[in-house]
Amino acid sequence: MKLTKHGHACVRIVHGDRTLVIDPGAFGERDAAAGADALLVTHEHPDHFDEGRLRSAMEADPAVELWAPRAVSEVMSTAFPGRAHAVGDGDTLTAAGFPVEVHGELHAVIHPDLPRVANVGFLVEDPEGGAGTVFHPGDALTVPEREVETLLLPVHAPWNKFSEVVEYVREVGPRRAVAVHDGLLGPAGHTVYGRNMGPAGPGLGAAEYLRLEPGDSLALA
């Protein structure tokens, strides 16, 4: 499998001729969902869910399907009946040939006065088993309670702080943690996070920390 980082929280996972795209939101490239065989969206916030990007991908290929919490699937199902599926914690599915498990229920708390929306994490497996699993938690620090090879780590958000992020990596215990949800950071912020996530910081257990620039790819093995 190959993982490509797009803007902010969006990633593309490719295996052979099959492509899965997660969270092509408004902070990323306009064509981030183009060419996808299947789409996953963790929750309804616009930095993860952009209706126009999803519509473009689903209009371009009538075989493309979408899995997301109900608030997202209901918006898309009007235009694409039978192709937008609501999912929740504990569900399993196959998207573009990738086995996928759904973990989690709610977005992390931003502030007690703000309502929490539904948020799910997607654990994507290598169809052939060789590259292990990739977990995208969306906007929550959900622990899937099973082995995770590659954790897509939300490093910076209004709802988290550095100590929580570090403890989250330690608890999940992945082989590697790849930075996502970093669209609000500038160059100085990326430098600070990279230093603190690396050897100069408190340590992430056995996990390697990686940050990919948008468009960069990583072979998962």
The answer to whether 24 touches 54, Cβ cutoff 8 Å, is: yes
| pLDDT given for residue 211 in this prediction | 96
Is pLDDT at 221 greater than 80 in this prediction? Answer: no
Q: What pLDDT is recorded for position 116?
A: 97
Task: Work out the angle between the directed axes of helices 51-60 and 70-77 (0-180°, nearest 10).
Answer: 50
- Asked whether 154 and 126 are in contact (CB, 8 A), the reply is no
Full-model pTM = 0.97
CA distance 165 to 85: 30
200 CB neighbour count, 10 Å cutoff = 9
Start-end of H helices in 49-161: 51-60, 70-77
Query: Taking all residues of the chain, what is their mean pLDDT, rounded to a whole number?
Result: 96
pLDDT in tens, 8-31: 999 999 999 999 999 999 998 999
Q: What are the φ and ψ backbone dihedral angles of 51, each rounded to 5 degrees? A: -60, -40
Report how far residue 210's alpha carbon sits from residue 120's, in angstroms, rounded to the nearest whole number: 23
Those residues whose C-beta lies under 8 Å from the C-beta of residue 13, and which sit 6 or more positions away, are 1, 2, 3, 4, 19, 20, 21, 22, 98, 124, 134
pLDDT tens string 129-147: 887 899 999 999 999 989 9
The least confident of 64-68, 92-96, 127-131 is: 127-131
Strand-pairing partners, residue 100, are 93, 124
pLDDT tens, residue by residue, 184-213: 999 999 999 999 999 999 999 999 999 999
Res 70 pLDDT > 90: yes
Q: Taking residues 149-156, what's their average pLDDT?
A: 98
Whose tokens are 């209901």? That residue is 74
Residue 129 confidence (pLDDT):
83
Q: Tell me: the pLDDT tens digits for 112-123?
A: 999 999 999 999
Contacts of 48 (CB under 8 A, 6+ apart): 9, 23, 25, 41, 42, 138, 139
Mean pLDDT across 41-48: 98
Asked if the model's pLDDT at residue 172 lies above 90, the reply is: yes
